[in-house]
Amino acid sequence: MLYEIIMGNVAVKIKDFVKTFGQTVAVDGLNLEIYEGEIFGLLGPNGSGKTTTLLTTATIYKPTSGDIYVHGYSVSRQGDIVRRYVGIAFQEPKALWIDNPYELLIWHARVVGYSSSEAKQVVRDVMEQLDLWEHRKKQFYQLSGGTRKKLEIAKVLIQRPKVAIFDEPTAQVDVLTKHKLWDVIRGLKAEGTTIIVATNDMFEAERICERIGIIYKGKLRALGTISELKDMVPQGDVIEIAFDGPEEQVKKIISTFPEIGHFTIADHKARMFLNKGEEKAVSIVQALASSGIKVRKIMIQEPTLDDVFFYFTGARLREEHGAA
Ligand SMILES: Nc1ncnc2c1ncn2[C@@H]1O[C@H](COP(=O)(O)OP(=O)(O)OP(=O)(O)O)[C@@H](O)[C@H]1O
């Protein structure tokens, strides 16, 4: 685990939330609570309803039915108050009628309440922090994908909202920049910010999210910490042991462990499928060793988040959008 999770006050409560666009049901009865100070990940492939949920939380859309509450305030009825709590980094910069990144961030800083001189200072600080300063006067079309993402994230850093929302913050961004942006997000968490990240990248989810909601076709399919979700996959862990000794004997020993769902033995290698493999591996190795079997190599593999996603949805995250 990356962080200790303390389930505290609810920062965002999503209650029976439905959003339709014409005939399209984008979100279909979502219920979810996000706790103050956590990094929560909404994990799902393109089109699963993540952006719609985030944009509604940020009061850009209104729910078709149900509601979302931010620190107790309804996005449907108290949007003005909700907007004081929420900041969002969109998938792509908007407001591109503004001349350049610097002017965009100055405009944003003024909107969120900085005076003119404060705005200049905070914009410069944040642009320097994100290595954006050299791009400040460029045209938007000249910016790389990574720089555009940073620009959106800069808005959140300027605003310092209580609830910070990031919609696919590192999609199509190079690895170095990804790490930098993840550090920025962790830094906000360290300051006590509640963070919601929408992602279809399981590595991103593993790196930064403490709890995850798996969303697919507008519905929540599973919820938990990453290790809880992995443990929910029946016999999701694999222990592979290479050994010297008679295979028949190894088969007998392994059969005495009821927690091993099934196993195969071939070429002096046993592959066992079970849950909580890390906890069980020691006793399996001890049982083999005390019967005179020499264990040459042991490998424990837990399910990937893609396996978890498949278990709950029948679909693959990777296939549907090709995450690296
Ligand atoms: N403004 C809109 N008008 C019509 N349909 C929309 C609109 N926004 C989203 N949808 C549809 O709602 C569904 C959910 O889309 P949404 O953007 O919320 O998913 P997502 O998981 O965020 O995916 P992506 O990463 O592609 O944004 C999709 O079928 C999408 O086509």
Encode pLDDT of 282-292 as tens digits: 999 999 999 99
Give the binding-site residues of ligand 1, using a 6 Å CB cut-off. 21, 24, 26, 44, 46-52
CA atoms within 13 A on the CB side of 118: 10
> Does the pLDDT value for residue 323 go beyond 70?
no
pLDDT in tens, 5-36: 556 799 999 999 999 999 999 999 999 999 99
The domain 235-302 having CATH identifier 3.40.50.12140: the answer here is no
> Does the pLDDT value for residue 305 go beyond 50?
yes
Identify the pLDDT of residue 321: 44
Name beta bridge partners: 166.
Answer: 89, 197
Identify the pLDDT of residue 97: 73
Atom of ligand 1 at shortest distance to CA of 61? 1
- The model's pTM is 0.88
Atom of ligand 1 at shortest distance to CA of 22? 4
Query: How far apart (Å, rounded) are the C-alpha atoms in residues 274 and 295?
Result: 19
Average of per-residue pLDDT across 178-205: 95
Domain boundaries, the chain: 10-230, 235-302
The domain 10-230 having CATH identifier 3.90.550.10: the answer here is no
Distance of CA 3 to the CA centre of its chain: 14
Count of C-beta atoms within a 10 Å radius of residue 128 = 11
Identify the pLDDT of residue 3: 47
CB-based burial label for 10 (10 Å; 0-12, 13-18, 19+): middle
User: Could you tell me the pLDDT band of residue 98, with boundaries at 50, 70 and 90?
Assistant: confident
Q: Are 257 and 318 in contact (CB under 8 A)?
A: no
Higher pLDDT, 95 or 301: 301
pLDDT in tens, 133-183: 999 999 888 888 889 999 999 999 999 999 999 999 999 889 999 999 999
Alpha helices (H) along the chain? 50-57, 79-85, 101-111, 116-129, 145-159, 175-190, 202-208, 226-232, 247-255, 277-290, 305-313, 317-321
Q: Report the residue among 51, 170, 197, 219 best suited for mutation to probe ligand 1: largest number of ligand atoms under 8 A from its CB.
A: 51
**3-state secondary structure (DSSP) of residue 88:** strand
Identify the pLDDT of residue 34: 97
Query: How far apart (Å, rounded) are the C-alpha atoms in residues 143 and 148?
Result: 6
Query: 47 C-alpha to center of ligand 1: Å?
Result: 5
Atom of ligand 1 at shortest distance to CA of 27? 14
Query: 26 C-alpha to center of ligand 1: Å?
Result: 6
Token pair, residue 66, equals 């149900």
